[in-house]
Amino acid sequence: MPAPIAVTFIAGRTGPWSVERIEAIAGAGLDMAERLAVLGEGPNPRAAGEVWRLSGTSSHLRYTRRAEADILAARQTGPGRPEDRRAALIPIRKSDAWWSLAQDERRAIFEEQSRHIRLGLDYLPAIARRLVHCRDQGGPFDFLTWFEFAAGHAADFDALLARLRATAEWTYVEREVDIRLVRTDAVASG
């Protein structure tokens, strides 16, 4: 896990992902757009027809223990599999009450109570995921969570979300937007 890598999601008229729907789960939503682009390191000039952009960086593990990290590493794959033609971008902001907790309190809610890592493991390797941090950069969200999966796993992904949203951890989520995407460029035939 070397230096943080900047990631920007730009909603507008360009990018390989077609926006299927944008749903406000908690708090304010985000405006609808036609397409979404995911851009890496470097300054990103304004895209034609840009509606909104969200930026953050990859970062180090915040709650995951070594034994958990090893299990995750053995099971998960990164984004970019050609068969993964469905994606979700779910920006999340947690409350001041969450951020005021000490590290052991947040860890206990995250895993011992809510089983966040344990729940996610049930959906590996089908659901590829990427976590982008943005709290320290300011802006409206704390995390930009990104998931990719094959169309045949869409129901599994919904089940994972339903289980996570029922946890104690989610009582600290004060803004959440669920953005669903379909890959409609020609890079793969999936």
Interface with its own copies by CB under 8 A: which residues? 1-4, 6, 56-57, 59-66, 68-69, 96, 99-105, 107, 133-138
Closer Cβ to its own copies, 6 or 161, answer by number: 6
Closer Cβ to its own copies, 23 or 118, answer by number: 118
> Smallest gap, in angstroms, from Cβ of residue 136 to its own copies?
4
Q: What are the backbone dihedrals phi and psi of residue 75, each rounded to the nearest 5 degrees, phi first?
A: -105, -30
> Smallest gap, in angstroms, from Cβ of residue 65 to its own copies?
4
Q: Is 133 helix (H, G, I), strand (E, B) or coil?
A: strand
Identity of residue 21: R
> Smallest gap, in angstroms, from Cβ of residue 78 to its own copies?
16
> Smallest gap, in angstroms, from Cβ of residue 101 to its own copies?
8
Listing DSSP states for 128-172 in one string gives EEEEEE-GGG-SS-SEEEEEEE-GGGHHHHHHHHHHHHTSSGGGG
> Smallest gap, in angstroms, from Cβ of residue 96 to its own copies?
5
Closer Cβ to its own copies, 90 or 134, answer by number: 134
Strand partners, 149: 86
Burial class (CB in 10 A: 0-12, 13-18, 19+), 114: buried
Closer Cβ to its own copies, 98 or 147, answer by number: 98
For 18, half-sphere exposure in the C-beta direction (CA atoms, 13 angstrom radius) is: 7
For 169, half-sphere exposure in the C-beta direction (CA atoms, 13 angstrom radius) is: 21
188, 81 contact by CB (below 8 A): no
Closer Cβ to its own copies, 43 or 48, answer by number: 43
Closer Cβ to its own copies, 105 or 185, answer by number: 105
Tokens for 182? 């379909």
> Smallest gap, in angstroms, from Cβ of residue 4 to its own copies?
6
